[in-house]
Structure 1
Amino acid sequence: MTHPTTTRTFGLSKSKITMFEQCPKRLWLATHRKDLAEYDEGAEARFAAGHEIGAIACALISDGIMVEAEPDLRAAVDRTRELLALQQPRTIFEATLEHDGVLVRIDILEPNKGGGWNLIEVKSSGSAKDYHHNDLATQLWVARQCGLTIRSASIRHVDTRFVLEEPGNYRGLFRDTELLHAVGDIVAKREEQVGGARAALGGPQPEKECGDHCSSPFVCEFTAYCRSSLPPGPEWTVDVLNNGGGKKWRARGIEDLFDIDSSMLGSPTHQRIYHATVNNEPYHDPDGARGAMNDWDFPRAWLDFETIAFAAPRWVGTRPYQQVPFQYSVHVEQRDGTIDHREFLSLNGADPRRACAEALVSDVPATGAVIAYNASFERSQVKALADVFPDLAPALLSVADRLVDLLPVTRAHYYHRDQRGSWSIKAVLPTVSDLDYATLEIKDGGSAQQAYLSAMCADCSDEEREMLAEELKAYCGRDTWAMIVLARRLTGSAQS
């Protein structure tokens, strides 16, 4: 095995080359102007999930040796060299290799029984993605340039069919997708790509127009910066046409919704969006909405769940990324207009499903409509609880059978241009009421999940957990109350 020497410092890595391939400007900014980055709220959670999955993958291999980057990466390179030279090779975690200024840390490098090495990149996703090929190719290129014989190169990803049968026992959590030959063409061009990345870093800030690459395969943290330099566009772009309806107009060079010939809009929904926007007149069909909701019997139970999903399941009987309800809100409305609020919330870290199912059976009336916004999700959660708890299944399945959906009613019978093409309840609510989510500490489902994770932490104080509980209750309760407000507005009810 050879170890090429170089006078270059470590200027490139697998992640930086991935940035270059997505957008040279992103690489340049990430290197020279990190201060301009703006990360979304879910970035930290995704990083934590990836770290947890990586740790589990290593823990499942009993004889592996971890290469620490202490005191620095040069020490990690030297330590990896020592381990590769052992007479009886061992599996190496975070094997650190460098060639021509490109440094990679390989998640798992294990000896192949026939000689050589198996290169494994661990991912928290449920399958090997196309963009994983480039990651793997960079590592494979560096490893070969360092003289290693690589017998296999694979993505070790989560097997979503896995079911946790014993707390903490994750054997069977992963599947390997072999890609050694599939990435051959990419490996052959690595040197060219490295040269391009190095040239981009050594020059002025690259010019690159915004486009689909700003969000694929990753959301770029510099999108806001890049868009800030663009001239202001039209107030109402063709992008308000839902379900990607604006793409064909942009392909024709039309960006402003007002420039469209409305007679060429084939979709009735797009016609409504166009006319409501151009004429600044909301579309509202109260008779149609009343007809759609006429069969929704009383008492009406307005229901909303909040759920959590883990890449590595925490509770026995759950799968990777399975949505598990930890909270619900239900407003029960009688025919005379009186309303009673009921709720469930579990923040003790235990499996919340049994307690949730029992509370749901108690809180939701045995008759009447159960109403949700995008009801397929609530139905899936109720049915999942019924599958797990046969003794509660008849009552739970009754809830599932009585679920009706306010979303398609809203989509068919109402549109205000301030929705900007969205029928999410958070987009519709401000157009029908002064009620919104701006005054709440928790404003969306992602924030609710983060609050749940914070409350589960061992170092979360009782006071902080109580505060998070109140914030979660306020948010989930707002969701179900918002449905009532919206339904009354849709039908033209005099009740406020």
Structure 2
Amino acid sequence: MPMKPLSKSRLMAYRQCPRRLWLELHRPELREDSAATQAIFRTGHQVGAIAQRLYDPDNTGTIIELSPERVADALAQTQALLGSAAPIFEAGFSASGARAFADVLLPVNAVDEPDAPTWRMVEVKASTQVKPYFRDDAAIQAHVARSAGVPLTAVALARIDSTWTYPGEGDYRGLLVEEDLTAEVFARGAEVQTWIDEAQAVARSADEPGTRAGRQCSEPYPCGFVAHCRRDEPEVAQPVHWLPQIRSTSLRAWIDAHPGASLGDVPDTLLSEIQRRVKAHTVSGEVYFDAEGAAADLEGHVFPACFVDFESINFGVPVWPGTRPFQQVPFQFSVHRLEACGTLSHRSFVDLSGDDPSRAFAHALIDACGSDGPVFVYNQAFEAARIRELAERFPGLSTALLALETRIVDLLKVARRRYYHPAQEGSWSIKRVLPAIAPDLNYATLDGVQDGGMAMDAYCEAIDPQTPAVRRAQIGEQLTAYCALDTYAMVRLWQFFAGRQDLGLCSAESVKEQ
């Protein structure tokens, strides 16, 4: 029986895990892609569309329409266009048991040989780095194209330049930068053919490979079959992946060598101090709380105190002039302001107009936080970076913004150093710490938006011109409630860590009513 060609995506699935390839072919209905994976796909399509404009500014090229039902037509159309001298996008080739579609195919010597041009291939990636598996991807593309008889003379990988700033007016020149991979990928033809042969053997097998779940389930990218592959594995009550910051080579090697191990099995000699704390208190079930140390960390911060949280959006393809690819642009904040008497007031900002929210955000933030007192956040690196970026973009606000940054106090640092509850499962996210300290606060009770990912999705829906005004208003209310809970949660964490349970919190509105 002749081999049915395997697509490049199938070969990349094999490179990640043979079981993934088999499931892609034989049990595709079991695949469950996360919202994050879907977002990556959307960004990839956007970058691909812009690449077509950049590589064909005169609009003389051809985009080959792809669909599962018309693969043969796409391959035939590619063959016909190879005799021309214009750019081809999504050019398809099939040879040596594999099939591939090139993002960009550009004629090289079209002026001298208009009837028989040679070609330069460009693979476009919605990433700011050239990742190792991108090189495998390009090697597959090049091998299949050359095996199909394409006179290929060069191969490059185009990635996003994270330092580029969008000038506006739809001008994306400079968004992409190239790295030439010609010599590397041309030298890997035999290696690629080995992958194809091995993948074909897996594809023909009637039995699902028994590959155990492991690091390959998330590297180099998340696999949608994880739930299926782990369904029959014994459930570990305290899994090793609860350990925070698993980075050391020796610890990763031990975990790989002991699949199904429990947290208590890991040798202490392989663990950092914080990892040993997580292990010890998870296994014992005892809460760790250095109350004296936490109070000392927070001592000396005067009132009034502001508790601040931002929500942001990071478009891979910038839409606002002055912003960079994947730059975190804040569109919302919540500020709870606590007075010495326990009076608590709230200010919020959210811009769903679709315009760049940055300048209005900066003005409102400066006004809401005032000019004195600590500014408590939960993960200083995020908010501080956003404030510095705003100061750089808007020099007229720089002094006030940078003064605000100097007032930041990070509650996450206090939590990591002084507190751990076994229910945190190795995480110090505010949603993990809060249930043990303030069980009356629950993100699950919120309507619509319950985490940062949902906030970004809601924001994108709100700024879509097709979204009705009523729905946009509803999203605004949901975002405001979510962000407000984040900052009120910080107030409660501060109260606990500072040992100020004696401070009775009351809203500014209730004080006015009295």
- TM-score above 0.5: yes
Is the CA contact 1:305–1:325 (under 8 Å) kept in the aligned structure 2?
yes
Is the CA contact 2:217–2:223 (under 8 Å) kept in the aligned structure 1?
yes
Which of 180, 183, 190 is the equivalent residue of 1:181?
183
Is the CA contact 1:8–1:100 (under 8 Å) kept in the aligned structure 2?
no
Question: Could you give the per-residue CA deviations for residues 40-98 of structure 1, whole angstroms, max 9, x where no partner exists?
Answer: 11222211110010000101212221112377121111111111123xx1111111111
Q: How many pairs align?
A: 486
Structure 2 equivalent of residue 256 of structure 1: 262
Structure 2 equivalent of residue 3 of structure 1: none
Which of 358, 363, 366 is the equivalent residue of 2:371?
366
Structure 1 equivalent of residue 497 of structure 2: 490
User: 1:164 Cα shift?
Assistant: 1.1
Structure 1 equivalent of residue 420 of structure 2: 415
Q: Which is further off, 392-401 or 268-277?
A: 268-277
What SS is found at the alignment partner of 2:35? coil
User: 1:201 Cα shift?
Assistant: 1.1
Query: CA–CA distance in 2 between the matches of 1:159 and 1:436?
Result: 40
Query: Structure 1 residue 206 and structure 2 residue 202: aligned?
Result: no
Query: CA–CA distance in 2 between the matches of 1:337 and 1:344?
Result: 23
Query: CA–CA distance in 1 between the matches of 2:25 and 2:256?
Result: 33
Q: Which is further off, 236-245 or 37-46?
A: 236-245
| Pairs within 5 Å for 1:240-279 | 240-244=242-246, 247=252, 250=255, 253=258, 255-259=261-265, 264=269, 267-279=272-284
Structure 2 equivalent of residue 390 of structure 1: 395
Query: Structure 1 residue 108 and structure 2 residue 109: aligned?
Result: no
Query: CA–CA distance in 2 between the matches of 1:485 and 1:436?
Result: 13
| Pairs within 5 Å for 1:3-402 | 9=4, 11-60=5-54, 61=56, 62=58, 63-69=60-66, 72-86=70-84, 89-113=85-109, 115-203=117-205, 204-233=207-236, 235-244=237-246, 247=252, 250=255, 253=258, 255-259=261-265, 264=269, 267-402=272-407
User: Which amino acid counterpart does residue 225 of structure 1 have in structure 2?
Assistant: H
Query: CA–CA distance in 2 between the matches of 1:265 and 1:127?
Result: 31
What SS is found at the alignment partner of 1:39? coil
Give RMSD over aligned pairs.
2.0
Query: CA–CA distance in 2 between the matches of 1:208 and 1:266?
Result: 28
User: Which amino acid counterpart does residue 331 of structure 2 have in structure 1?
Assistant: F
Is the CA contact 2:88–2:104 (under 8 Å) kept in the aligned structure 1?
yes
Q: Which is further off, 416-425 or 187-196?
A: 187-196
What SS is found at the alignment partner of 2:485? helix
Query: CA–CA distance in 1 between the matches of 2:17 and 2:487?
Result: 42
CA distance 1:416–1:53, shift in 2 (3 Å): same
Is the CA contact 1:407–1:423 (under 8 Å) kept in the aligned structure 2?
yes
Is the CA contact 2:299–2:498 (under 8 Å) kept in the aligned structure 1?
no
Question: Could you give the per-residue CA deviations for residues 205-247 of structure 1, whole angstroms, max 9, x where no partner exists?
Answer: 11101111111111110011111111222x2234333221764
| Pairs within 5 Å for 1:457-468 | 457-468=464-475
Query: CA–CA distance in 1 between the matches of 2:46 and 2:33?
Result: 20
Is the CA contact 2:16–2:219 (under 8 Å) kept in the aligned structure 1?
yes
Q: Which is further off, 189-198 or 299-308?
A: 189-198
Query: CA–CA distance in 2 between the matches of 1:419 and 1:248?
Result: 25
Is the CA contact 2:214–2:256 (under 8 Å) kept in the aligned structure 1?
no
Query: CA–CA distance in 2 between the matches of 1:376 and 1:122?
Result: 31
Query: CA–CA distance in 1 between the matches of 2:96 and 2:273?
Result: 58
Query: CA–CA distance in 1 between the matches of 2:280 and 2:62?
Result: 65
What SS is found at the alignment partner of 1:175? strand
TM-score, length-scaled by structure 1: 0.93
Is the CA contact 1:98–1:142 (under 8 Å) kept in the aligned structure 2?
yes
Question: Could you give the per-residue CA deviations for residues 188-208 of structure 1, whole angstroms, max 9, x where no partner exists?
Answer: 222221121111111111110
Is the CA contact 1:167–1:314 (under 8 Å) kept in the aligned structure 2?
no
What SS is found at the alignment partner of 1:182? helix
Segments of structure 1 that go 5 or more residues without pairing to the other structure are: 1-5
Q: Which is further off, 407-416 or 96-105?
A: 96-105
Question: Could you give the per-residue CA deviations for residues 281-328 of structure 1, whole angstroms, max 9, x where no partner exists?
Answer: 211122211110112221111111111111111111111111100001
Which of 424, 433, 439 is the equivalent residue of 2:445?
439
User: 1:259 Cα shift?
Assistant: 4.3
Query: CA–CA distance in 2 between the matches of 1:112 and 1:382?
Result: 47
User: 1:248 Cα shift?
Assistant: 6.2
Structure 2 equivalent of residue 474 of structure 1: 481
CA distance 1:12–1:261, shift in 2 (3 Å): closer
User: 1:251 Cα shift?
Assistant: 6.1
CA distance 1:15–1:83, shift in 2 (3 Å): same
User: Which amino acid counterpart does residue 39 of structure 1 have in structure 2?
Assistant: D
Using the aligned pairs only, state the percent identity.
38
Query: CA–CA distance in 2 between the matches of 1:53 and 1:129?
Result: 17
User: 1:426 Cα shift?
Assistant: 1.1
User: Which amino acid counterpart does residue 208 of structure 2 have in structure 1?
Assistant: Q
CA distance 1:296–1:227, shift in 2 (3 Å): same
Q: Which is further off, 15-24 or 40-49?
A: 40-49
Is the CA contact 2:331–2:351 (under 8 Å) kept in the aligned structure 1?
yes
CA distance 1:256–1:59, shift in 2 (3 Å): same
Is the CA contact 2:308–2:334 (under 8 Å) kept in the aligned structure 1?
yes
Question: Could you give the per-residue CA deviations for residues 143-193 of structure 1, whole angstroms, max 9, x where no partner exists?
Answer: 111211211101111111211113210011111111111223432222221
Query: CA–CA distance in 1 between the matches of 2:374 and 2:500?
Result: 18
Query: CA–CA distance in 2 between the matches of 1:171 and 1:373?
Result: 38
Question: Could you give the per-residue CA deviations for residues 8-36 of structure 1, whole angstroms, max 9, x where no partner exists?
Answer: 55x41110000011111101111111111
User: 1:252 Cα shift?
Assistant: 7.2
TM-score, length-scaled by structure 2: 0.90
Is the CA contact 2:37–2:222 (under 8 Å) kept in the aligned structure 1?
no
What SS is found at the alignment partner of 1:188? helix
Q: Which is further off, 436-445 or 165-174?
A: 436-445
CA distance 1:23–1:252, shift in 2 (3 Å): closer
Query: CA–CA distance in 1 between the matches of 2:477 and 2:307?
Result: 20
